[in-house]
Structure 1
């Protein structure tokens, strides 16, 4: 996986830590980073710390469990940094990096990205710790 010259999105899940991952990507020569964290202000503070010429860093609040938030992250990264090359998920039990060149050309890139992010979340968060959406909880109760 090539990091030098790559635009990287890092989605930090509840209980995860994105700071070390962002620092590693920056040190490896990433062209730009977008960090999204559930906790307000955390990603923005990290972006202010790491932002530098040659590797701009954007920090936003976002929830990788929500497709609308993933779509917003993709749009924000494209607007400020360019096309995304790598998408990383940092959870309480590990990290997973997805290379977007894995996406088939004939599929809707956002739909395929959502599937890969969902898979990545499943790998870094044990099933019993995964968030249950309110609609899924209502369905399970019926």
Structure 2
């Protein structure tokens, strides 16, 4: 997995933390990051701390269990940082990194659906079953 020069999205689930992951990506030479957290202010504060020339960092509130929030994250990342290379999910049981190398530079609706499916798999790996919201379709891979 190539991090140097990559645009990275880090989505933090309830009970997870993206701070260490974001710091590792910054140290490894990421070209830009978007950090999303379900709790207002958390991602924004971390982004302000890590933002620097050569690696702009954007922080937003969002819940990646909602496809509309995933679409908004993709739009925001592409608008401010360019095409996404890595999409990371940080949950209470760790983190999962999804490489988007096989997806086109711009995510159309069909590719966005594929991304949502990959994120669902990642959530299933990182969220204990008893912590999943009622009606969640995320399952362990």
| TM-score higher than 0.5 | yes
CA distance in structure 1 between the aligned counterparts of 2:26 and 2:20, rounded to whole angstroms: 10
- Runs of 5+ in structure 1 lacking a partner? 138-142
How far apart in 1 are the matches of 2:77 and 2:85? 10
Report matched runs for 1:8-19 at 5 Å: 8-19=8-19
Classify the secondary structure of the residue corresponding to 1:101: coil
How many corresponding residue pairs?
133
- Residue 108 of structure 1: how far off its partner (Å): 2.0
4+ residue runs over 3 A deviation: 102-105
Structure 2, unmatched stretches of 5+, are 137-141
Larger Cα-atom Rg: 1
- What TM-score, normalized by structure 2, do the two folds share? 0.90
SS at match of 2:101: helix
TM-score, with structure 1 as normaliser: 0.89
Specify the alignment match of 1:140 in structure 2: none
CA distance in structure 2 between the aligned counterparts of 1:99 and 1:28, rounded to whole angstroms? 16
Richer in helix (by share) = 1
Describe the superposition over 1:65-96 as per-residue Cα deviations: whole angstroms up to 9, x where unpaired: 00000000000000000000000000011100
